[in-house]
Structures are given as C-alpha cells and as structure tokens.
Structure 1
C-alpha cells in the first residue's frame, strides 16, 4: 500500500512539474483538459484519488503520453559504468546508452602519440569535443588547429577531419551525432581496428 501511495506521489509531481515547466496556472491546465481547477488542485496535492479517465486528458494537455506519465523509474539504472575499449594509441569510454540523448553518442577518449595517423574522414553532420587535458591537433581540411585544455571545437563533418595528440597524451570529451557514431565507432574501419588493425573509423572522431 505504501508503494502504491509513493507511486501516486510521483505521478502528482510529474503533473505539477510539467505544468509549471510550461508556465501554466492551475486554471490554464484545467481549461485544456476539461477538469475543474479545484479538482486538478486536489489531484496535484494528493487530496483526490487519481482516476485513469482524468490522466488521459491531463497527459494529452501536457504534451506527453499516459505511458510516460505513469511509467515507473524504480527499475532504471541511472548510473553508466563504461568499459574502456582499446586500440593502438586510443582508449574510448562510451558515456551514453545506445539510442539515448536524441540519437547522439557521448564518449571520453584518451589519445596518445602512438596512435597511427589515419586518413581524414568525411560524413554528414556536425561534431563537437572539448579538451580535458593535453593539446589536440585537429586536422580540418587543409588546416591544422591546436586546441588547448578547457577549449572546445565544433565543426561540419563534411570537411575532411582527423584528431590527434600534440606533444603528449590528450583526453577529450566528445559528442557524435548518428552519422558520426556510425562513421567513427561502428563503421567498417572501426570494426577492423578491433581485429588488430589501425583505428580507421574511430581514429578520426577522434
């Protein structure tokens, strides 16, 4: 019974939180879901039992779904425990789950001078990284740009690009979109790297 009451409290918090996030008063949301403001207030404060026939219009008015409004978060493991993936001169930790964050992949990379120079890659989209330590050598078309710790780089990946370490190990935090993930982490070149070859696909995202 206590667990059921706790879950009801979560649903009430979601309703109130979504309403406030949209800047709506009780009257505004009540008008949108055809429930009286007093009834909606009692639902939010726990003074009225939540009925399914009320949740459906409330969810629709808030721009969400009934499933999202009532889903349990108890079983979700929110901690990501990345395992390092090694290739010559490159160690990668994936910091996001597959399909998360609207299709983008977040990764931390440690690049050392032992990493073999790869051919610059081209693919649709944009990429972003920030330097945590060391100095990155970013090859972007005909230019070579040094990116220092605390600085970030964002660029169109339709420009031939490759990332390397300048003068010592470098650690970066990077974000790939879907095309970047496929090109650098899951493309044919990346697969061959895991077999012992040079890091082609991963190399550049470097």
Structure 2
C-alpha cells in the first residue's frame, strides 16, 4: 500500500465514524443497518480490519451516501482568495454552485472543538467566506486558517468543524442540498441528545 493509499484508508475510516456519530448512531445501530457484526464495524473504524469494497458499498448505503462520496479525495484547493472587479467595485469568490443552495450568515466566537469525535461528516459540499476576523476549518487531518476575504470550498464527507481564532469572526456559509440536510440532521440529533440528559 502506498502512502497515498494509507491516507485514503484512514480518511475513509474517519468518514464512516463521523457519519455514524453525526446520525447519533451507536456502533450497534450502524452494524444492524449495514448487516455486519458490531465487532467487524469497530475493527473497520479503528483500522484493525481491511477495507473491502463490498463492505464499503454496504456501509455507504447504510449511511445514506454513495461510495463515490465515501472515497472522494479532491480536497487540494480548499482555500481561495477573492477576484477583484475594480471597475464595478465588487469582490467575487468563485464556487461551483448548484440550484437549491442555502446561504447562512453566522458570527462565531468559539474555537473549533478540540475533540475530533465532535467533527461532523455528511454528504454534500459546503462553501464559506470569512467576512471579518479569522476562521479555523478543521478538515480531516488538516487545520486551515481562513482570513477575512478568503473562502473555502470542501466536500462535507470529510470530517469537519469550524470555529473562530483570536476573537469573533463572521462567516457566510453556503450549503448544497445534501449538506443542508446533513446539518439539519446533525442539529436534530444534537437536540435529541441534549433532551435525553
């Protein structure tokens, strides 16, 4: 296995766990849905069992995603700077947008969570533009610093979390349909978890 294969292997395992946690499911819950034993699923998530294509297909279905999204690796160009149209006095951030997008303006004051298990993963794509301050994007194993007027675009199948650095920041978040649904499910699971306490 090459170094790149090892990184993909680790990334897929983290996505499986993050998607499971984002749904609020235990190992047992996902194991039942995927029709695999709980111990097999645990070994897959922890890297003690080889990833087999047939199991990945089954797990992707059980997690309500596709195999393509589960193994996606196109994450090189995450952060971008605006294009300035001086003649019109405009700043533009190039994104590959689809119809049905949701835009949310948000003020953040807390840093991203230090606990990797609190990172979320779900189908879709997300974009964010930092309007003021500095945002920190945790994306898989990467920690990206996004300054005022910079933007980031990433697949939400990568475990991710966003927070502020050095004081408040204001961001504009843009979600495709799948990412919006993933965030809504995560919020619903969070509310249910807090209600059980």
Structure number with bigger Rg: 1
TM-score by length of 2: 0.49
TM-score by length of 1: 0.47
